């Protein structure tokens, strides 16, 4: 809910993954689906005292304020189970879009010394959700995957590219994007350039 209020896309709405990769390290969260009170009961039955994080009741944190309204939402039918189901569906939708974007890039994106080119017609023909994801992946690869994607700006860029007209040099996510109407070029911003060797370097992160 907090991410929805902040304008997150499907990637942000899918919730925390049970298994994920963080800096090449596999992180497993086997207790992610277990309710907090159930975990506390298990710990108590083992003769241990559950540790309570004081930040979980500190109203200075936005997540705590959101948790306070969950009982009211549950009364309207939007309980934890339905939120979890929505997050799972968002995750499935994002995965399908990401796979389509990866296939598009693998087929059409051409590596350059410090970026990529891709035919403008390809970007104009794919569904906008796929285009937004593909642009995000290219910007990550060229400008730096460690940065947070600026979804609203990428969506605006997608709209401008899909109309098929020329695009003047636009700086976004550490990259410079331009189009002559036939080819879209994404290059690393001046001062940050590195050599990109092959399209195999386009890796999709969750």
**Where residue 54 sits, what CATH number does that domain have?**
3.40.50.620
Provide the mean pLDDT of the chain: 86
Which residue, among 44, 31, 35, has the nearest Cα to 70 in the 3D structure?
A: 35
Structure confidence at residue 186 (pLDDT)? 96
* Residue 37 to residues 16, 33, 153, 195, Cα–Cα distance (Å): 19, 12, 41, 52
Structure confidence at residue 12 (pLDDT)? 85
Model pLDDT for residues 130-155, shown as the tens digit of each residue: 999 999 999 999 987 667 778 999 99
More confident residue, 131 or 191: 131
Comparing 17-31, 52-66, 125-139, the range with the smallest average pLDDT is 17-31
Which residue, among 186, 175, 13, has the nearest Cα to 85 in the 3D structure?
A: 13
Mean per-residue pLDDT, 177-193: 86
Mean per-residue pLDDT, 25-52: 87
Residue 19: which domain range?
A: 2-90
Structure confidence at residue 92 (pLDDT)? 93
Q: CB neighbours (10 Å) of residue 69? A: 10
Is residue 114 located within the same domain as residue 192? Answer: yes
Structural tokens at position 186 = 């994404």
Residue 129: pLDDT above 90? yes
Q: Are 35 and 29 in contact (CB under 8 A)?
A: no
Percentages helix, strand, coil for the chain, rounded to the nearest 5?
50, 15, 35
Structure confidence at residue 146 (pLDDT)? 65
Q: Are 109 and 122 in contact (CB under 8 A)?
A: no
Model pLDDT for residues 57-88, shown as the tens digit of each residue: 899 999 999 999 999 999 999 998 899 899 98
Mean per-residue pLDDT, 180-188: 94
Phi and psi at residue 152, to the nearest 5°: -60, -40
Is residue 22 located within the same domain as residue 75? Answer: yes
How far apart CA 88 and CA 82 sit, in angstroms, is: 10
Mean per-residue pLDDT, 3-20: 85
Is residue 21 located within the same domain as residue 82? Answer: yes
Which of 44, 67, 90 is the last residue in one of the domains? 90
Mean per-residue pLDDT, 102-107: 96
Is residue 153 located within the same domain as residue 194? Answer: yes
Is residue 27 located within the same domain as residue 86? Answer: yes
Residue 184 lies in a domain: yes
Residue 202: pLDDT above 80? no
Residue 69 lies in a domain: yes
Residue 206 lies in a domain: no
Structure confidence at residue 28 (pLDDT)? 92
pTM for the whole thing? 0.76
Query: What is the tally of structural domains in the chain?
Result: 2
Structure confidence at residue 145 (pLDDT)? 60
Is the C-alpha dihedral spanning 170, 173, 175, 177 positive or negative? negative
DSSP secondary structure letters along 61-98: SHHHHHHHTHHHHHHTT--HHHHHHHHHHHHHHHHHHH
3-state secondary structure of 193: coil
Residue 151 lies in a domain: yes
Which of 90, 116, 150 is the last residue in one of the domains? 90
How far apart CA 206 and CA 15 sit, in angstroms, is: 11
Q: CB neighbours (10 Å) of residue 188? A: 21
For residue 191, give the CATH number of its domain.
Answer: 3.30.465
Structure confidence at residue 201 (pLDDT)? 47
Structural tokens at position 32 = 């992610």
- The length of the chain in residues reads 206
Model pLDDT for residues 113-126, shown as the tens digit of each residue: 899 999 999 999 99
């Amino acid at each position: 809910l907090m991410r929805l209020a902040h304008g997150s896309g499907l990637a942000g709405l899918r919730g925390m993954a049970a298994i994920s990769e963080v800096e090449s390290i596999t992180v497993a969260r086997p207790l992610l689906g277990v309710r907090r009170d159930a975990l506390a009961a298990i710990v108590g039955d083992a003769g241990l005292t559950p540790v309570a994080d004081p930040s979980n009741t500190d109203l200075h944190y936005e997540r705590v304020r959101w948790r306070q309204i969950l009982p009211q939402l549950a009364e309207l039918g939007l309980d934890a189970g339905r939120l979890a189901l929505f997050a799972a569906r968002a995750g499935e939708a994002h995965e399908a879009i990401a796979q389509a974007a990866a296939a598009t890039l693998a087929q059409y994106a051409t590596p350059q010394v410090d970026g990529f080119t891709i035919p403008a017609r390809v970007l104009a023909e794919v569904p906008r959700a796929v285009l937004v994801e593909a642009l995000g992946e290219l910007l990550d690869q060229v400008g730096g995957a460690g940065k947070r994607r600026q979804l609203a700006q990428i969506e605006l860029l997608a709209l401008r590219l899909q109309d098929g007209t020329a695009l003047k040099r636009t700086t976004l996510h550490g990259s410079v994007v331009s189009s002559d109407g036939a080819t879209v070029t994404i290059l690393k911003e001046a001062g940050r350039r590195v050599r990109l060797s092959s399209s195999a370097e386009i890796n999709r992160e969750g």
